[in-house]
Amino acid sequence: MTSDLARGEDSILFVPDVLKQSAELHRLEAEAIAQNQSPQTVSEAYVVSRAQYRRCAKQDARAWENHRRWLQDQADSKLALRKSLRRADISKRFLALGFVAADFDTLHLDGSWCSSCLYQSYDDDLAEWEDYEEDLILDTHDEEPQTQDQAMSTTTSDAQGAQVRVGGAIIRGPSLEQKLGEFREQAREEKMAAMLADLHTDCMPGPASLYQFFQSDERLTDEEWEKYKSPIVACVHRRRFDRIWREEIAAHDARQKRQEALRPLFGRLQPPKRSATSARASIPISFAIFLALPTVETLWYPANAFIDARGWPPLEPQILSEICTRIRLDKVVLFDRIVRAHVADNGVLPSTTMKPIASSSSSPFIDCDPSKGLVPLHAALTDRDMDPLFAQVTSLFRCGICSTKLPYPDIAIHLVDDHDVPNVPAYAHVPSSDFRKAIKSLLDDLGHSLQLELAAFEFFYADCDFDVTMRSASGQFETSVGETWAQVLSGKSPAELDASRLKLSYSTDRDIVGIKLSTASVSDEDA
Ligand SMILES: [Zn+2]
Ligand SMILES: [Zn+2]
């Protein structure tokens, strides 16, 4: 009966109460019978009044339950408020240290503060973990409990046996012992790694009491903060580092995507690919230099940059002018370089066209400080000043990668088109002084002025061969007979470069000390 009552809504009626009620009903019925009345009427009246009573009781119970819930809610919200005040206290400390909410706002959720990781001491954990794993193995292989330790002890007795068997061979003893030690050490390392992967991948170094630090509903005091701050700040610091690292990687990837999206614009602004006739006409630039142009940079660098090809055409004239500026700057740097080489070789400025600029004291670009060399002249240099010098046979540049000798601007085209270098001046070198001397004495021998243009030279000697004397690595001289002019100036082929890429002291240049017109070709001409 109790269990029946306890089930439904009737559970608000207690067993003694039910007994009392039924006794009362029997009493009323008995009285009615005693007064010769029908017990039915009093019974019905009693049931009605009883139903009313139960309705009131249920209403009261509901009211009390609601009240109890309200009180609980109040208590809960007060607790939550106190906890949030504490979190705000903690947040204030972190914000004052320069962290952002993303670095520390989930610390109170993670219960995995770990003192083993804090002190980097895992010996106890390893022992516990080993016991646990052994139990597991024993449970699964009850009939054959061969653990790794036992396997190891078997090896030990084998090893001792080996030592006994070899008898006097003392040398083998320590090496076996050593191997065993290494084996044990390796087994321990493997176990340690497995244990760490199992138990300590997701924990934060700090005393376990830190969980309570974050869960407490008391306001944070200075003393408490001083006591706990070191491990917490270290942890938040690491989180911030991870966050910044992730953000940087994402930003870098996004920037690279935007850069790649600019390739069509880059392709459109490049001059047509080199052909036999236009080799010296227009100079390409590398994609890296293109991206670094001020106007182009605004298209991809800002984090909110949006690549839209419809916005490119109005920018193109500006970008082209920046490309021209860049090419001119490279040209001036190379001009400066070749002029210095000529001055070093001859002690005088090389071209007569240069002298009026250099000697004009009225020029605003002349700075009397000799240490600045030609630098003050750079802004005044025009193509008309530079091109005659670049055109000379004596003004060849050496490719820094394959050592081919080329005049400007062929060297720039070669570096960008063939080697895809980002920075032309960094790879366009003046050839060795021996090579420069060899060219000069060749011109002397042939009776040409040093100002002879390369085009004229190549025209005169198109069908001639040359004997090239080189210094070998051991200092011996050797002569290569009958090279064409193109061979004299050639560098290493891509295959040769690839083959010797890994050699440490490897020069791609031939150490040329003399170039002579091949006697064979002279006699051919005479004949
Ligand atoms: Zn841990
Ligand atoms: Zn090259």
| Residue 284 · residue 417 · CB < 8 Å | yes
Round to whole Å and give the CA distance between 104 and 90. Answer: 9
Question: Distance from the CA of 231 to the center of ligand 1, in angstroms?
Answer: 13
Question: Distance from the CA of 124 to the center of ligand 1, in angstroms?
Answer: 12
How many alpha carbons fall within 13 Å on the CB side of residue 425? 14
Q: One-letter amino acid identity for 107?
A: L
Structure token pair of residue 138:
């024993």
Beta bridge partners of residue 129, listed in sequence order: none
Indicate the DSSP class of residue 197: H
| Residue 407 · residue 314 · CB < 8 Å | no
3-state helix/strand/coil string of 281-292? CCCCCCHHHHHH
Question: Distance from the CA of 405 to the center of ligand 2, in angstroms?
Answer: 8
Question: Distance from the CA of 494 to the center of ligand 2, in angstroms?
Answer: 9
| Residue 401 · residue 508 · CB < 8 Å | yes
| Residue 11 · residue 5 · CB < 8 Å | yes
Ligand nearest to the CA of 112: 1
Question: Distance from the CA of 419 to the center of ligand 2, in angstroms?
Answer: 6
| Residue 483 · residue 378 · CB < 8 Å | no
Mean pLDDT by 10 residues, the chain (527 residues): 47 71 89 90 89 92 95 94 91 92 78 79 88 80 50 44 44 73 90 88 78 87 91 87 92 93 90 53 84 92 86 90 89 87 75 53 46 64 84 92 90 91 91 92 90 90 89 86 88 78 71 83 45
**Given this model, what pLDDT does residue 429 score?**
93
Question: How far is CA 469 from its chain centroid?
Answer: 49
**Given this model, what pLDDT does residue 155 score?**
43
Question: Distance from the CA of 278 to the center of ligand 2, in angstroms?
Answer: 19
- The environment of the single-atom ion ligand 2, i.e. residues with CB closer than 5 A, is 399, 401-402, 404
| Residue 296 · residue 319 · CB < 8 Å | yes
Identify the three-state secondary structure at position 115: helix
Question: Distance from the CA of 201 to the center of ligand 1, in angstroms?
Answer: 7
Closest alpha carbon to 328 in 286, 394, 379, 377: 379
Q: Give pairs for 57-60: CB < 8 Å, separation 24+.
A: 57/12, 58/9, 58/12
Question: Distance from the CA of 116 to the center of ligand 1, in angstroms?
Answer: 5
Ligand nearest to the CA of 206: 1
3-state helix/strand/coil string of 33-67? HHCCCCHHHHHHHHHHHHHHHHHHHHHHHHHHHHH
* Secondary structure element (H or E) that encloses residue 516, with its range: strand 512-517
DSSP string, 423-458: -HHHHEEPPPHHHHHHHHHHHHHHT--TT-BHHHHH
Identify the three-state secondary structure at position 359: helix
Q: Is 147 exposed, middle or buried (0-12, 13-18, 19+ CB in 10 A)?
A: middle
At CA 491, angle to CA 490 and CA 492, rounded to 5?
A: 130
| Residue 488 · residue 457 · CB < 8 Å | no
Give the gyration radius of the chain's Cα atoms: 47
